[in-house]
Structure 1
Amino acid sequence: MVELRRILLVEDSPNDVELILTSLSENHLSNEVVVVWDGEEALDYLYRRGVFRLRQEGDPIVVLLDLKLPKVDGLEVLAQLKADPVLRIIPVVVLTSSREEPDLSRCYELGTNAYVVKPIDFQEFVDVVKHLGLFWAVVNQPPPDSSTLSSDRRGEE
């Protein structure tokens, strides 16, 4: 049996987290969703440091990343992730309320795999998240888990 890889959700809004988790579960996705509340926690999770130093090995199948985050903003998280030779293969979907063209441009320059503006309408939001979850966790062929591609150097940083 294939082990399901986790989805990393980086979101500081409790309401959006609840809505995203509900939308994914309504689609019967069995992937564990790990929620972190700011950019610093996201980087700690990805690099297995701090409170995440002992987390289970393996990278998420996808990162759902908000841009407007406390401590370290989403653009910086994206920049660090995509600059890392080991982590850059992890798909990143920017899921944000920003319709600002500079944010959109910068995200694609940094290497985001998708940029999705959170709909304001409740049902549209649910539908968008359902489709994202289905695509990235079921339909898309994910990259190999980077923990199988190289030695785990991430806890050393």
Structure 2
Amino acid sequence: MRRTVRVLVAEDNEDHVFFITRALRGVDEVAFEIESVSDGAEALDYLYRRGEYHDRPRPHLVLLDLKMPRVAGLEVLDVVKNDPELRSIPIAVLTSSERQQDVDDSYRAGGNAYLIKRPAFAELSDKLVSMSRFWTHTAVLPEPPV
């Protein structure tokens, strides 16, 4: 039986959203419901169910780019992980930054994983499949807050 896992992809690059979606669809026994937003403000609106996202169910997992317009990924991470209602939603930072400071800041802000996007799609795809298998086959995801 296939499980359904809702994923919010907060990514401003449409090509990256396409590749992420394609990689996640390759995971066995999981039906991913993937929604995407293109900036940090939209990510917060989605998670707080404001505006056009008022009727969306909260995700089981968030894939968050650090470098986004309007509200940066680290700020989104900080807001979500400091909110008692939302902090249980796992957030995996998915970024092109290899800076150790960004890695450290992401974990200090409450990030649950840090994945580096490399230009080679095959490498990114392998990382995404491994990460998603961890969250869907190894770990047990919490039920998102209502």
Q: TM-score normalised to the size of structure 1?
A: 0.85
Deviation for aligned residue 1:18: 0.7
* Partner AA of 1:43 in structure 2: L
Provide, for residues 18-41 of structure 1, a one-character-per-residue CA deviation record: whole Å limited to 9, x for no partner.
Answer: 111111112243120111111011
Separation of aligned partners in 1, 2:55 and 2:12:
23
* CA-atom RMSD in angstroms: 1.7
In structure 2, do the counterparts of structure 1 residues 2 and 127 end up closer, same or farther at CA, with 3 Å as the change threshold?
closer
Provide, for residues 45-80 of structure 1, a one-character-per-residue CA deviation record: whole Å limited to 9, x for no partner.
Answer: 00000110122x3x3111100000011110000000
* Partner AA of 1:42 in structure 2: A
Partner of 1:62: 61
Query: In the alignment, is the contact (CA less than 8 A) between 1:31 and 1:137 conserved in 2?
Result: no
- Give aligned pairs, total: 145
* Partner AA of 1:118 in structure 2: K
Partner of 2:102: 103
Deviation for aligned residue 1:113: 0.6
Deviating beyond 3 angstroms after TM superposition, the runs of 4 or more aligned structure 1 residues are none
Separation of aligned partners in 1, 2:20 and 2:37:
13
Partner of 2:119: 120
* Partner AA of 2:80 in structure 1: L
* Partner AA of 2:97 in structure 1: S
1:146 is the counterpart of 2:145: yes
Q: SS at 2:69's partner residue?
A: coil
Deviation for aligned residue 1:140: 1.5
Separation of aligned partners in 2, 1:145 and 1:40:
20
Partner of 2:82: 83
> Where is the strand percentage greater, Structure 1 or Structure 2?
2
Partner of 2:34: 33
Partner of 1:8: 8
> Where is the helix percentage greater, Structure 1 or Structure 2?
1
Q: SS at 2:97's partner residue?
A: coil
Separation of aligned partners in 2, 1:32 and 1:80:
24
Larger radius of gyration: 1
Partner of 2:50: 49
Q: SS at 1:87's partner residue?
A: coil
Structure 2: gaps (5+ residues): none
User: Identity over aligned residues, as a percent?
Assistant: 43
* Partner AA of 2:52 in structure 1: V
Q: SS at 1:5's partner residue?
A: strand
**Equivalences for 1:126-141 in 2 at 5 Å?**
126-141=125-140
Separation of aligned partners in 2, 1:86 and 1:33:
22
